[in-house]
Amino acid sequence: MSENVARTRVDLHRDHSDFGELARSIVEALPGHIWSTDPIGHLTYINPSMREYFGIGSPEEGVDWPSRVHQDDYQAVAAKWRQCLETGGIFVSEHRLRDAAGRHRWFRTEGRPSKDTLDRIVAWHGQNVDIEDRKAAEEELRARTVELSLLIDMVPSHLWRLTPDGATTLVNKRMADFLGLDLSEVGSLETAMNTIFHPDDVEGVGAELTHCLETGERFSMRYRLLRADGAYRWMSGRAEPLRDQDGNIVQWFGLCHDIEDQVQTTAALRRSAEKLAEATQAANLSQLSASIAHEINQPLAAIAADSDACVRWLSANPPNVERGKLAAARITDDVVAVTDVIARIRALFQHKPQARTIEDVNHLIGEVLSLMADEIAAATTRIDTELDLNLPLVLLDRVQVQQVLVNLIRNGIQAMDSTNPMPVLKIKSDRGGLNTVGISVEDAGRGFGDPDRVFEPFFTTKSTGMGMGLPICRSIVESHGGRLWVKNNEAVGATVAFTLPIGASS
């Protein structure tokens, strides 16, 4: 390196004693366009690469600017150049110049006046830099931006953008129309965003959004938004952070779509399903109790009568032991009859075995969660899932296992109702043991008051409860060869967990 510098110095002394000559030879060799004019703007010099571009022999030949500058740019360039000649200001312009073959390319021209010791302009020197590629890239970017904003407005969803600290900086046209916002008043956006949520959802959405902004976790929630006509509509909203190369969040992009119709349909369906279930339950229960009463009353009446008779025969003088024995034998028969009735009732509660299929437990959990989406949203419960994605498949009765999951999730949600401002229900699946998969539902509710009694049929602490949920869940799991148990968490809430055997077929 230092050797090169030294050699350059030597050459400079030997070959270019005149610096002007050196400068000229550099300028002549440069690939960019270099030019000079006299003080009133007549070209006095253009370097070879500029001559070559325009296809002209010498500066004297001149450049016919009106035909060289693109006609759409010419007026502006000429006016600017005239003004600089008058004021001595620096000339800067971007315009298209036509080459020898008649093609236009974009150039950025910059010219500066050169002054003598009396501050008089003696010449102008300048350069034209080819910026065709930059212009093409800019044009492509502009076209892309237009295309993107068109797309953003056409997407049949509401799109929005937030700063890392949660200020709204954009909503697409569809969302602005929905909210009745005038997009020209971007200032009003922020105020509007504070008033568009249903009063019952404001707190939940606010807490979740703050949590996501703080942690960078994805936002996903259902909430009601106020439409321009004053009606609230259910929305399903999501937002993801956009990060720079260092992982810092630059902004958040959100999307939400109207699920009001879907929510209404599901709610209507659920109402009719509940009515049907209530009706069936009531009918079953009253039928069942009538038949239990009928079946048991008869042998009980007979037992009462026989024991009276037995007492009478044995108290007679002398006691009639033979008749007494007969009466006692009839009592034994009646007791067997009552035991039979009880056995039949228990059989009623046992589930008819259905065809079992090989299932992915995680998939079943997903199905149940979407089935219960509205119930979960209505309770503003957040569901966190921790699913082991490498679980083996399990042979099971999908309806029954879904029924177990529905029951446990519903119990968990109900246990947190009104006791927890931000209820979170954790659903986990894992390889429970060597030959089992484990599933657990963990809530942050009030916990089991009496964990030992919850599997007793008809044990309930709820005013509308039946107390059959957990016993049925346990019997379903056990009929699959698994185990179901409950426990109170160390800190807060309860966990209900069960296992299902993997079995030979998985």
Summarize as ranges the residues that interact with ligand ADP (CB under 6 A).
Answer: 407, 411-412, 415, 443, 445-448, 454, 459-462, 465-470, 494
Q: 374 or 443, CB closer to ligand ADP?
A: 443
Torsion, Cα 299 301 307 311, to 10 degrees, reads: -160
CA pair distance 311, 330, nearest whole angstrom = 13
Closer of 97 and 494 to ligand ADP (Cβ): 494
CB of 270 to ligand ADP, least distance (A): 17
Q: Which C-beta is closer to ligand ADP: that of 123 or that of 371? A: 371
Ranked by CB distance to ligand ADP, the top (closest) residue is 469
Token pair for 432: 């429970």
Nearer to ligand ADP, 98 or 446 (CB): 446
- Could you tell me the smallest distance in angstroms from the CB atom of residue 278 to ligand ADP? 13
Measure CA 9 to chain center: 66
Exposed/middle/buried for 299, CB within 10 Å: 0-12, 13-18, 19+? Answer: buried
Rounded alpha-carbon distances, angstroms, from residue 72 to 57, 68, 83, 104: 27, 11, 19, 12
CB of 461 to ligand ADP, least distance (A): 3
Please say which residue, 393 or 468, places its beta carbon nearer to ligand ADP: 468
Q: What's the min distance (Å) between Cβ of 202 and ligand ADP? A: 28
Q: Tell me the closest approach of the beta carbon of residue 494 to ligand ADP, in angstroms.
A: 4
- In whole angstroms, how close is the CB of 422 to ligand ADP at the nearest point? 17
Query: Which CB atom, from 235 or from 473, has the smaller least distance to ligand ADP?
Result: 473
> Minimal distance in Å, beta carbon 285 to ligand ADP?
13
Tokens 């298209």 correspond to 96
Q: Which residues pair with 234 in a beta bridge?
A: 224
Looking at the Cβ atoms of 126 and 471, the one nearer to ligand ADP is: 471
**Closest listed residue to residue 110, CA positions, set 123, 89, 128, 83:** 128
Q: Give whichever of 46 and 454 is closer to ligand ADP, judged by the CB atom.
A: 454
Q: Scanning the structure block, which residue is given the tokens 């050797």?
A: 3
- Minimum distance, C-beta of residue 251 to ligand ADP, in the bound complex (Å): 40
Residue with Cβ nearer ligand ADP (88 or 447): 447
Shortest distance (Å) from residue 445 CB to ligand ADP: 5
- 1-34: b (≥16 Cβ within 10 Å) or e: eeeeeeeeeeeeeeeeeeeeeeeeeebeeeeebb
Alpha-carbon Rg for the chain in angstroms: 44
CA distance 471 to 459: 9
Query: Letter for the amino acid at 5?
Result: V
Tokens of 250: 């630059």
Residue (of 435, 439, 450) closest to 392 by Cα position: 435
Range 262-266 contact pairs with CB under 8 angstroms and sequence separation of 24 or more: 262/234, 263/234, 263/374, 263/377, 266/373, 266/374
Nearest of 77, 25, 30 to residue 63 by alpha carbon? 77
CB of 466 to ligand ADP, least distance (A): 4
Which helix (H) or strand (E) segment is 430 a member of? strand 424-433
Closest CB to ligand ADP among residues 114, 281: 281
Residue 310 CA to residue 433 CA, distance in Å, equals 59
Would you say 305 or 466 has its CB closer to ligand ADP? 466
In angstroms, what is the minimal distance from the CB of 279 to ligand ADP? 17
